[in-house]
Amino acid sequence: MMINYISLAILLYSASLVLGHGMVLNPPGRATAWRYGFKTPTNYDDNGLNCGGLGTQWNRNGGKCGLCGDPYKPIPRRYEYNGRDYRGVIVAKYLPGSTIQTTTKLTAYHKGFWEFRLCTDHTNNTQECFDRLLELESGGTKYYPMKGSTTYTVDYKLPALTCEHCVLQWRYVAGNSWGWCTDGTGKLGCGPQEEFRGCSDIAILP
């Protein structure tokens, strides 16, 4: 019994320390675009769109998160289509099938990985729309940052399609919370983890 209590204490303590932060600088996310002169609302906490926090996401909302890092509830969510701070400003234009350079900044490093997904309908506020995972230029879809709290430049390949207004979704899953693994053991990186998300409005045109 004592071991169970100790394990629970470790879990709660580790969860309280999860303070990873990050955002996409290129193409800038909806919460960050103002930093680059776009006429979008100012948000000095644009590196903290973490689904409301680990407890809110997993204990209150069953692991669900807003598309752009807002808490899953209430709806409408702040940075989604028709949300309070949504402006729909196109921040970058690309060619179909081209390789694009993304820039992501981690201001507090907590291991894990991120991926980018594409939705071709900017009015669609469902996660199902983001069914296209972008592939890394080096292969695979998940990028594992290894350099700590710094800026990362990573190349991705766009699909050979066109859209006047697409949404690029960034999803960063931290990996430093202690939890239970599928094999029944417990260690950092297993179980629910803190997540960060961001949405960038782009166009893919010939």
Q: What is the pLDDT of residue 188?
A: 85
State which amino acid sits at residue 47: N
Dihedral class, residue 161 (left if φ above 0, else alpha if ψ from -120 to 50, else beta): beta
Dihedral class, residue 53 (left if φ above 0, else alpha if ψ from -120 to 50, else beta): left
- How many Cα atoms occupy the beta-carbon half-sphere of 112 within 13 Å? 26
CB distance 63 to 45 below 8 Å: no
DSSP code at position 61? S
Distance (Å, whole) CA 151 – CA 24: 10
Per-residue pLDDT tens over the stretch 142-171 = 999 999 999 999 999 999 999 999 999 999
pTM to 2 decimal places: 0.88
CB distance 102 to 27 below 8 Å: yes
- pLDDT band, very low/low/confident/very high, at 9 (cuts 50, 70, 90): very low
Q: Which residues are paired to 166 by β-bridges?
A: 202
Q: What is the pLDDT of residue 11?
A: 38
Distance (Å, whole) CA 140 – CA 79: 28
- Work out the mean pLDDT of the chain and round it to a whole number: 90
CB distance 192 to 178 below 8 Å: no
Q: What is the pLDDT of residue 178?
A: 86
Residue 176, exposed/middle/buried by CB under 10 A (0-12, 13-18, 19+)? middle
Q: What is the mean pLDDT of residues 13-28?
A: 68
Question: How many other C-beta atoms can be found within 10 angstroms of the C-beta atom of residue 9?
Answer: 10
Residue 49, exposed/middle/buried by CB under 10 A (0-12, 13-18, 19+)? buried
Q: What DSSP assignment string belongs to 64-132?
A: ---TTSS-S-SSS-TTSTTSTT------EEE-TT-EEEEEEEEEE----EEEEEEES-TT--SGGG--E
Per-residue pLDDT tens over the stretch 37-70 = 999 999 999 999 999 999 999 999 999 999 999 9
